[in-house]
Structure 1
Amino acid sequence: MRHVPFFRWVLTLGFVLCACAVGLYAVGSNLPDARQIDLTVLDEKPDGSCRVRWFDPYQKRAREAPYRCDPGRSDLLKAPQYSGSDGYGWESGFLLTEGPERGNLEDLATEQDLGCADVFLLLGMPLIALGLIGGNLRALPRVVGVQSRLIRQASDLSQAATWAAQEYERAVSAVREAGRHDVLPRDAAGDPGSPLVTALWVLREAGPQARETAALGRKLASRLHRLLDDAAPAAGLRSMLQAGPAARSSAAQAAAELRLLLADAERDGLPERFAQTSVDLLRGQDADRAALAAATDFARDPAAYRHLLARLTQPAALP
């Protein structure tokens, strides 16, 4: 069962809300344009409530109205410290320049109310934070289970074991194929280029331990292949994050078994044995040199070749 990406959807929702807020900010609040003008403060209270006068260029007359002054502005801008003989103060405001309200002062108090863009932003930012923090915390146990180095080492060992088994099978098959078209010479003075003698010489050079190593390689490769399939989610960060709880549990168990197998294989020197067996079984690739060496060895001990051929032609020759 795959995990439900809850925090991923929370993060997506947060980004959508923030995108909506940015869009609304870009479009604007549809308020009419305004320009800054000077205001004469006729009366002012400590809390900032005041009455101001300004000149309306559209009605061509001076107007008065209640206003919200900034109580924190400098005392030099308030009466009676403000320069002038009238005893009034000074403030600045914004005059609406379009729409049916043009000539009126913009009510700054309404700008303090939260608009849709502000609401979207206030909702979206916590959701983004929750998605990032919660998603990372949830992903932490899955990230810890990644065993990429272990999987890589097990894959290399499985490949080496498979190659050793396959090379031995190839060498035995070469002997049997050559035996269908050729026979061993009766004495040491036989054909020095006999393919059957060369194929048998390759196995003799690999030694009797090659058969045992090939059998061990085939058995180990089969076991490693099964464990590697179960441990596949632990091979990388992406696969571990996408795996469900059951798959991660199986991967952890398989990784533990792989670690024990690798330790045993390293202790017994299996990687070196598999590599050496593969190299020994590839001696026949240089056909001319192998044929000369095989003829010399056959002349020295032809009985050993006949004994090896008799054993390999039996049905149970392959491990």
Structure 2
Amino acid sequence: MRHVPFFRWVLTLGGVLFACSVWLYAAGAGLPEARQVDLTVVEEAADGSCTVRWEDPYQGRTREAEYQCDPGRSDLLKAPQYSDSRGYGWDTAYMLTEGPQRGNLEELAGGEQGLSASDVCLLSGASLIALGLVGGNLRALPRVLGVRARVVRRAAELSEAAARVVEDYERAVSVVREEGRHHGPPDGSRLVTGLWVLREAGPRAGETAAVARRLTRRLQVLLDDAAPAAGPRSRLRAGPVARSDADRAVAELRLLLADAERDGLAGRFAQTSVDLLRGQDAERAVLAATADFAREPHAYRLLLAEVAGPAVVPRRRRVKGVLRRRRPSGA
């Protein structure tokens, strides 16, 4: 089940309404044109109710009417502080300049005309935007808290190190098996070099590769399940079931990482990979392998039989002047 982005749609709708409000305001919402004029405040109450006069150029006379002045304007603009010898105050208003009502004052402060379409869109859009932002963040918070990027990254690094060990060991073994089928006893330089690489890696190389192989398989399964916990974006996009599986996988990854750290697996993997890559310097490896084979040819034959199978080693072989008989398998 995937996450349903409810608050994202709420935020989108709020943005659309806000854009409509801006467009209506820019278009004027069908209101007639108006211009600002000076008012002479003849009388004024404490709540801003006034009697004002203004010059009406369309009727060519001075008009007087009730108006709602701004009670919060400076006292210097109110009578008797205003510098008018007649003791009047001062305010401004908007006068309509077109339509049948031209010359009348536009009642902006009185609120008698109610909310316009632009105001409704603005208030609705702002409310939906606030709801979408707050609700979306609150809903996303518990999902983001489940991010365990460090654990997933450490597990991925350990899986890569284990995969390298397996690859390096299988490459070294495949060289020995391939050359052993063609050349039989370890006489060819490529076969001797491959056996020398395995001898230098030590008897624990095969065990380390086996451990790495098992660990890689287990880590890959857990890393696939823990993918939603690798970062906030993947965590937010995952559904409830995927997040639950990720939490379980992260818990198991922690246990595996603790065991690996206790056993020093990361160091073992790195050292084994280095040992198995000794054959990369071909000239130096051939010289070292040839010298080592001359000292202990029997050890090379035993290792060849162990890696490539007993069929590539003769049953009777004279080594350093001593006749040796190969023990039957299972003896």
TM range (shorter): 0.7 to 0.9
Q: Which residue of 1 aligns with 2:299?
A: 304
CA offset digits 1:204-226 (Å, max 9, x no partner):
11111111111111111000011
Matched residue, 1:195 = 190
Describe the superposition over 1:247-267 as per-residue Cα deviations: whole angstroms up to 9, x where unpaired: 000000000001000100110
Change (3 A) 1:178 1:71: closer
Paired residue secondary structure (1:34): strand
Secondary structure, aligned partner of 1:28: helix
Alpha-carbon separation, structure 2, partners of 1:210 and 1:151: 27
Q: Which residue of structure 2 aligns with residue 254 of structure 1?
A: 249
Paired residue for 1:281, among 276, 281, 284?
A: 276
Residue 8 of structure 1: aligned partner: 8
CA contact 1:39–1:53 (8 Å) conserved in 2: yes
Q: Does the C-alpha gap of structure 1 residues 82 and 181 become closer, same or farther in structure 2, counting only changes over 3 Å?
A: closer
Q: How does 1:117-128 map to 2 (within 5 A)?
A: 117-128=118-129
Query: Following the alignment from structure 2 to structure 1, what is the Cα–Cα distance between the partners of residues 263 and 34?
Result: 85
3-state DSSP of counterpart to 2:101: coil
How much does 1:292 deviate?
1.2
Q: How does 1:208-287 map to 2 (within 5 A)?
A: 208-287=203-282
Shift of 1:297: 1.1
Matched, 1:28 2:43: no
Identity of aligned residues (%): 65
**1:219/1:50 Cα in 2 relative to 1: closer, same or farther (>3 Å)?**
closer
- Specify the SS of the correspondent of 2:105: coil
Q: In the alignment, residue 286 of structure 2 is paired with which amino acid? A: A
Task: Tell me if the contact between 1:8 and 1:135 (Cα under 8 Å) persists in the aligned partners.
Answer: yes
Residue 314 in 1 paired to residue 315 in 2? no
Q: Mean Cα displacement is larger for which, 220-229 or 172-181?
A: 172-181
TM-score by length of 2: 0.82
Number of the residue aligned with 2:320: none
1:148 is the counterpart of 2:143? no
Q: How does 1:22-61 map to 2 (within 5 A)?
A: 22-29=22-29, 30-39=31-40, 41=42, 52-61=52-61
Q: What is the CA-CA distance between 1:65 and the residue it aligns to?
A: 4.2
Q: For 1:252, give the aligned amino acid.
A: D
Q: In the alignment, what sits opposite 2:168? A: 167
Distance 1:19 1:102 in 2: 31
- Find the residue that maps to 2:205 and give its secondary structure: helix
Segments of 5+ residues of structure 1 without an aligned counterpart are 186-190
Structure 2 gap ranges (5+): 311-331
Distance 1:36 1:20 in 2: 30
Q: TM-score, normalised by structure 1?
A: 0.85
The CA deviation string for residues 11-47 of structure 1, in whole angstroms up to 9 with x for no partner, is: 2222222222222222224222233034473x76776
Query: Is 1:96 the equivalent of 2:96?
Result: yes
Deviations 1:50-71 (A, max 9, x none): 5555443223334444444556
- CA 309–131 in structure 1, closer or farther in 2 if over 3 Å, else same: same
1:10/1:127 contact within 8 Å kept: yes
Q: C-alpha distance in 2, partners of 1:258/1:84?
A: 88
Aligned residue for 1:116?
A: 117
Q: How does 1:61-72 map to 2 (within 5 A)?
A: 61-69=61-69
Q: Which amino acid aligns with 1:57?
A: P
The 8 Å contact of residues 35 and 97 in structure 1, kept in 2 or not, is answered as no
Structure 1 173/98 Cα, relative in aligned 2: closer, same or farther at 3 Å?
Answer: same
Mean CA deviation greater in 123-132 or 171-180: 123-132
Alignment CA distance shift 1:306-1:9 (3 Å): same
Is the Cα–Cα contact under 8 Å of residues 165 and 273 in structure 2 kept in the other structure?
yes
Q: Using the alignment, how far apart are the partners of 2:291 and 2:306 within structure 1?
A: 22
Q: What letter is aligned with 1:250?
A: D
- Report the CA distance between 1:231 and its aligned residue: 0.5
Give RMSD over aligned pairs.
Answer: 2.8
CA contact (8 A) 1:97 1:103 kept: yes
Asked whether 1:205 is paired with 2:185, we answer no
The one-letter amino acid of 2:308's match is T
Shift of 1:91: 5.7
**What letter is aligned with 2:283?**
D
Looking at structure 2, the residues matched to 48 and 199 of structure 1 have their Cα atoms a distance apart, in angstroms, of 101
